[in-house]
Amino acid sequence: MMSWLRIGSVTVWSIFLDICLGVVALMGDRSVSHSNSNFRRAVADSCTHCFIGILSWLIVSLHNKSELGHFYETCACGFLSSLIDIDHFIAARSVKLTDALNLTSRPFLHCSSVVFLLCVIFISVSSVFNLKEITTFGWILFAAFVSHHIRDATRRGLWIWPFGSTAPIPYNIYIILTMLFPFVLITVMTLCTASPRTYFKDVLDV
């Protein structure tokens, strides 16, 4: 029924949602820059992270032909992507926003290399023991962290411990990476769960 809307393994709905993803990133960043108080900027920033996480996982879910029940997974990705910034308060040892925004160093959940390694270990171990729901949660966690870190990297780069931080990502590159990420994640997930023959059949199927 929906075959006419499919281009290879990408549906028109996925393309539409990906455009929405780019628009959300642009409009969210504009909202942050135009907010005239720390509180409003923090809320706008958290909401932007949340909606980027939601749309990123929704594209993945559509490709995997997820049922409506997986709506909770999509919401979880958005929630986790926004929740990452709680480490500012933990590092500041304070619930005051001004303290959380004036840290002298980056908080622990913003270390891309360590988070990436932990997610890979988490996904690998759960896959070995065939714990499908936990594996899915690992991918959701990975999506939340990567989408969050890519967006934050426009200001301070990616923190690749123990090597330090990269240069800040140019804004146009950040938008492109944000829009490409769901499809890269789909490819990686497919490669990790299917044999090469099954993978290429899925990619080339029209």
Q: β-strands 6-7, 159-160: how paired?
A: unpaired
CA pair distance 193, 127, nearest whole angstrom: 9
Encode pLDDT of 30-55 as tens digits: 999 998 899 999 999 999 999 999 99
Residues β-bridged to residue 159: 111, 165
pTM of the model: 0.87
Encode pLDDT of 107-161 as tens digits: 999 999 999 999 999 999 998 898 988 999 999 999 999 999 999 999 999 999 9
CB 17 within 8 A of CB 66: no
Encode pLDDT of 61-84 as tens digits: 888 765 554 788 999 999 999 999
**Looking at the predicted structure, is the pLDDT value of residue 11 above 90?**
no
The domain locations on the chain are 8-204
Percentage of the chain modeled with pLDDT above 90: 72
Compare 11 and 19 and report the one with higher pLDDT.
19
pLDDT (0 to 100) of residue 54? 96
pLDDT (0 to 100) of residue 23? 98
- According to DSSP, residue 167 is labeled P
Alpha helices per DSSP H over 107-170: 112-128, 132-156
